[in-house]
Structures are given as C-alpha cells and as structure tokens.
C-alpha cells in the first residue's frame, strides 16, 4: 500500500479579450502568416485593465473545486505557479486562499517561469506523500501581457494570459503504475542559461523590466530537454512510451510540440494542443491544456498523461499522472 495524489478536479479561466494575430500587424513589421507558420499561434487572451493574476487564478480554482465537489474550506494547501504576481508580496496563493474563504490551510507561490506548473505539481505531490497535506489546490496563473516589450516582434506576438487549476487529494493505492494519481516527477534547472530567457528588471534592481528571449536557442534546448525529462519521468514510473495516452506539453510553439512528440515516438493525435488559441501562457499553459483536454472529452479517468515544460532559468521538468 502507498499514498497517491489523485486528481479530483480541474478547471481553467481565460480573460474575455481575445487578440488575433492581425492586431500586431497594425504596429509591428509582422504578419498573421509568419506568426502561424513559426509558432502555430492564431490568437491569445489578454487580461482587462485592472484584472490581476490572482483574479484569473481564483476563477480557475473555483471551477476545479466545483468539479471536485469541494469548497475552499476543504483545502489543506494552495500552491500557485506564477512569474507575474499581483504584488511583490504577499503571494498570489494567499490572495486566492482569502478569495476562496480558506483560513485553516497554508498557501505559497512557486516561481519556475514556464516550467512553474510542473514544479508546483511536484511540490504539491511531495506535501501529500510526506503527510503534510491531504487536499491541495495547484494553480498556474499568469498575466504575461504585462511584461511584454511591444516593440519586440520576436516575443510580444507569442504570449498570452490565463489560468488553470487542479485539485489533488491523498488516496490509498496499490503502489503500482496502474494506480490513479501522480506516478513520477522529474525536475531540472541550469542557471548557466539565464541570458536565454529573462525579464530585465525586478524589485532588487529597482526597475520593472520586460521579457527578453533568444528564441532560437531556447527552441534548441526545448526539444532536447523536454523529450529527455519526459523519458526520465516515465522510466521512474516504470512505464514506456507505448503506455502514454496523452502528452500535455507546455504550449509555447507547435513546432517544439511536434518535434518533442516525434522524439518521444508519440503520434500527434495523442497530444493535447491549445497553443493556437492561448499562445504561450507560461505556468498556466499546462493546467489550461489539461482542463481543455478534459472538457473536450480527450482525457478520461484512467488515462496515462505525461506533462512536460521548459522555461526561464532554464528550468524544465515532467510529471506523469494516471488521470
Ligand atoms: O515558454 C518558454 C519557452 N519559449 C519557447 O519555447 C520559445 C522558443 N522559440 C520559438 O518559439 C521560436 O524561436 C520563435 C517563434 C520565437 C522564432 O522562430 P524562429 O523560427 O526561431 O525564427 P528566428 O528567431 O530565427 O527568426 C527568423 C526571422 C528573423 O529575421 P532574419 O534575421 O532572418 O532576417 C527575425 O527577425 O524572423 C524574424 N522575426 C519575425 N518576422 C516577422 C522574428 N519575429 C518575427 C515576427 N514577424 N513576429
């Protein structure tokens, strides 16, 4: 017998404002065709003025809790993955905790940029396996539209805003790869690659900062590292590529998603793809895709789901979940 962190609910929220690629043609030297052919992105959502990351996170959380048949008061812990917090402190997680009416649990943020959700999920799983929490809400939420340089056509056309959430619950299990729940996690980072993807400002430097990216280099690392981390997580779970029902990748670029699937030997009809509709929503992209995948009837109970993500740091990782 063992304990597993089992998914009881999932939900997402996207801001109302949908921004098509044509919007960027009006003020940048770019085209809808270039954006689609190089990234697969057709549109993205931007938060309304005054709408913050904690607002998006709370809306996604409410939907995940409703599916789980729980309220905020049922939670022992809330972990939010974000790089675009409302304030320097307190954490977005404590704001969500307050919005959900929870006063008995604990809440904190995790910052691993686009890999944030797999880091948050792995931390939430560790809390459950170590007996520190039984019911954990894990959220990825971002307002990346706030850190774009609108003169940089190589980055500002790629990102969007949104939030997704999962509710995990401790359940007794047999301890086999047939169990429902999180079966393995794999986390990595390498700070030598800081200059490939970063925001050139922050509190300690007394500047606001905008996102900077060496797109081609990040692309090269992504394909190699994403396939490697997914491989490692599957091996830790005692599973093979053939066992995978769904790959739910970080949604940065359709060409990265396709190349990684090819490396993993998984056909594209087993990959959940939302990048065309959401753009790159950083830490929100995987829980958004999980929620859309469930809503569309793709991901069903018992399916083996592999998530993989990479982002600034560089930081990258994978989580294997039996849904
Ligand atoms: O979420 C974190 C992880 N992030 C990622 O995974 C992103 C990884 N990188 C990428 O997705 C791709 O590298 C991009 C989509 C950012 C760029 O695609 P690319 O095929 O690597 O293009 P490139 O950077 O090599 O640029 C090719 C050309 C350049 O022109 P020159 O130098 O060849 O004349 C760029 O200036 O395309 C130009 N370009 C654009 N042209 C029209 C760059 N951005 C644009 C644009 N519209 N928006």
pLDDT tens sequence across 68-88 = 999 999 999 999 999 999 999
Kindly name the residue from 12, 45, 221, 250 that is annotated as catalytic.
250
Residue 215 CA to ligand 1 center (angstroms) comes to 6
Residue nearest to atom 20 of ligand 1 (CA): 38
Q: How far apart are CA 266 and CA 264, in angstroms?
A: 5
Does 30 contact ligand 1 (Cβ within 6 A)? yes
Cis-peptide, bond into residue 314, ω within 30° of zero: yes
Question: Which of 77-81, 166-170, 204-208, 286-290 is the least confident region?
Answer: 204-208
Tokens 């590292």 locate to 225
Q: Indicate the top mutation candidate among 36, 194, 215, 224 to test ligand 1's pocket, ranked by most ligand atoms within 8 A of CB.
A: 215
In the annotation, is 98 catalytic?
no
- Model pLDDT for residues 144-160, shown as the tens digit of each residue: 999 999 999 999 999 99
- Where do runs of H (alpha helix) occur along 88-207? 92-99, 116-129
Q: How far apart are CA 297 and CA 284, in angstroms?
A: 20
Residue nearest to atom 43 of ligand 1 (CA): 154
Residue 134 makes CB contacts below 8 A (sequence gap 6+) with 76, 128, 169, 170
Alpha-carbon separation of residue 230 from 61, 168, 225, 246, 308 (angstroms): 27, 21, 9, 12, 6
Decide: helix, strand or coil at residue 20. strand
| pLDDT of 186 strictly over 90 | yes
Q: How far apart are CA 12 and CA 166, in angstroms?
A: 9
Atom of ligand 1 nearest to the CA of 31: 47
Q: Which two tokens stand for residue 225?
A: 């590292």
Question: C-alpha angle with apex 318: 317 to 322, nearest 5 degrees?
Answer: 160
Q: Which pTM value belongs to this model? A: 0.97
Atom of ligand 1 nearest to the CA of 153: 48
Residue 227 CA to ligand 1 center (angstroms) comes to 21
Span between the terminal Cα atoms of the chain, in Å: 19
Domains, in order of start, for the chain: 2-173 (3.40.47.10), 181-322 (3.40.47.10)
| pLDDT of 208 strictly over 90 | no
pLDDT band, residue 1 (cuts 50/70/90): confident
Residue 297, pLDDT score: 97
In the annotation, is 114 catalytic?
yes
Is the four-CA dihedral 293, 296, 297, 298 of positive or negative sign? negative
Alpha-carbon separation of residue 93 from 58, 80, 237, 257 (angstroms): 9, 5, 30, 29
- Mean pLDDT confidence for 114-132: 98
- Give strand pairing partners of 9: 167
Does 83 contact ligand 1 (Cβ within 6 A)? no
- Mean pLDDT confidence for 262-287: 97
Residue 28 CA to ligand 1 center (angstroms) comes to 14
């Amino acid at each position: 017998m063992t304990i597993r962190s089992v998914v009881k609910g999932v939900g997402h929220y996207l801001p109302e404002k949908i921004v098509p690629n044509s919007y960027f043609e009006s003020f940048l030297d770019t085209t809808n065709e270039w954006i689609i052919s190089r990234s697969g992105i057709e549109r993205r959502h931007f938060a309304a003025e005054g709408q913050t990351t904690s607002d998006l996170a709370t809306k996604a959380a409410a939907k995940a809790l409703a599916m789980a048949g729980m309220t905020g008061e049922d939670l022992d812990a809330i972990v939010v993955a974000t790089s675009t917090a409302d304030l320097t402190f307190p954490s977005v997680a404590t704001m969500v905790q307050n919005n959900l009416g929870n006063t008995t649990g604990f809440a904190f943020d995790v910052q691993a940029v686009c890999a944030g959700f797999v880091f948050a999920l792995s931390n939430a799983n560790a809390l459950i396996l170590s007996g520190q929490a039984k019911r954990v809400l894990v959220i990825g939420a971002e307002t990346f539209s706030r850190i774009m340089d609108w003169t940089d056509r190589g980055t500002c056309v790629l990102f969007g805003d949104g939030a997704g959430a999962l509710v995990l619950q401790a359940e007794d299990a047999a301890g086999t790869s047939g169990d429902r729940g999180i079966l393995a996690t794999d986390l990595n980072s390498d700070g030598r690659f800081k200059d490939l993807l970063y925001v050139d400002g922050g509190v300690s430097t007394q500047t606001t900062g905008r996102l900077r990216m060496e797109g081609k280099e990040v692309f090269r690392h992504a394909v190699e590292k994403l396939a490697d981390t997914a491989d490692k997580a599957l091996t830790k779970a005692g599973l093979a590529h053939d066992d995978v029902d769904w790959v739910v990748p970080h949604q940065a670029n359709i060409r990265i998603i396709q190349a990684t699937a090819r490396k993993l030997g998984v056909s594209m009809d087993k990959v959940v793809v939302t990048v065309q509709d959401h753009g790159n929503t950083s830490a929100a992209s995987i829980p958004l895709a999980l929620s859309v995948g469930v809503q569309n009837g793709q991901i069903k109970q018992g399916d083996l789901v592999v998530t993989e993500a990479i982002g600034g740091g560089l930081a990258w990782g994978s989580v294997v979940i039996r849904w």
